[in-house]
Structures are given as C-alpha cells and as structure tokens.
Copies of this chain bind each other. A is one copy, B any other.
Amino acid sequence: MQDGRQGQISGENLLFLTDEQLRQGIEAMFFAYRGFTADPDRILEDMAYGRAHHRAIHFINRAPGTTVNNLLNILGVTKQSLNRVLRTLIADGLVESRVGTADKRERHLFLTEGGAALEQRLSDAQRARMRDAYRAAGPEAVGGFRRVLEAMMDSEMRRTYTRLKESGA
C-alpha cells in the first residue's frame, strides 16, 4: 500500500522523500500546530475571545492602518466572518477603525492601548514557544524549518507572507 516502497529513484539520494518520511512530516505538522496554538488559546479562553480574534489582532498589529479588505485577504475568510470578530474587538475598545482620508470608503484598523496590551500577552506566549523550539533545534534547523514552510504555502499566501516579512524586517 504505502509502506517501504521507495526504492532508489534513478540513483539519487531521495531517502527523505519516502512515503514514510512524508507521513511523519504530515503528522509532525498536525501535532506541532496544536502546540503552536495552545498557549494563546489558553489565554483567550478566559475572555470571550477565540483564535479568530487572535489572528485579527496579530495582523492589525503587524500592519497598523491596514484596511478591512487587506485584512480579509491576509486571513482568507469572508467579510461577514471577519466583521463579527472586528465588531466585538471595536466594541470592547481593543481595535480602532478610522475612516480613510484619501478614500473615505475604506476603514483603517489600529490597535488601541488595550489591544496592544493583549497582543503583547498573546505574542509573548507564542514567541516563547517558538523561541524554545528554535533553541532546542538549533540555528541550522531554523533555516530548514522556514524553507520547508515557505515551500508548503500556496503561492498567493507566499506572496502575502513575503510582503509582510519584508515590511517588518
């Protein structure tokens, strides 16, 4: 079926591409993503917020003044879905929505002081997890980690990711 049928494909060393290796990578992604989200989830469950709020807060912090439409593209959800989240964040005073100056149809999103404080708590926890993982795996591993993840993205997402990366560096 799927086990141990790799063989030597035209003499190359493709041992890392066996089905078993790939399956282990798949399961590693599954279990690691659980760890990746665990700490922010724990912080948020006390409040009336969830992972969707975290994502919105993260990217508003990352790209202050972003428009709703831009955030929509980054998050890959519908405007109705995002709007439900934004409405509560604005009502709770964590996010501010300012009418655009050049184009008054647009709303530009910013974190308030309270929003920035929550962002800090959440990202501190997530960065601590990432830092420990990086430290345990070593600097050589980090490059490989990032390269595989980037190659795994859909090309459109990779463009979004790269744009964000370069704006922050």
Contact = CB atoms under 8 A, between A and B. Distances in A.
Contacts of A144: 137-138, 140-145, 148
Interface residues of A, number: 70
A146 B33 CA distance: 13
A144 B28 CA distance: 12
Majority SS at the chain A contact face: helix
A20 B167 CA distance: 11
30 contacts: A1-B138, A2-B123, A6-B135, A13-B139, A16-B134, A17-B135, A20-B168, A23-B168, A25-B134, A25-B142, A25-B145, A26-B123, A28-B146, A28-B150, A28-B153, A28-B161, A29-B32, A29-B149, A31-B153, A32-B149, A35-B153, A36-B152, A130-B152, A132-B151, A137-B148, A138-B144, A141-B144, A142-B144, A144-B144, A145-B148
Interface of A: 1-3, 5-6, 13, 16-17, 19-36, 38, 55, 58, 62, 76, 116, 120, 123, 126-127, 129-154, 157-158, 160-161, 164-165, 168-169
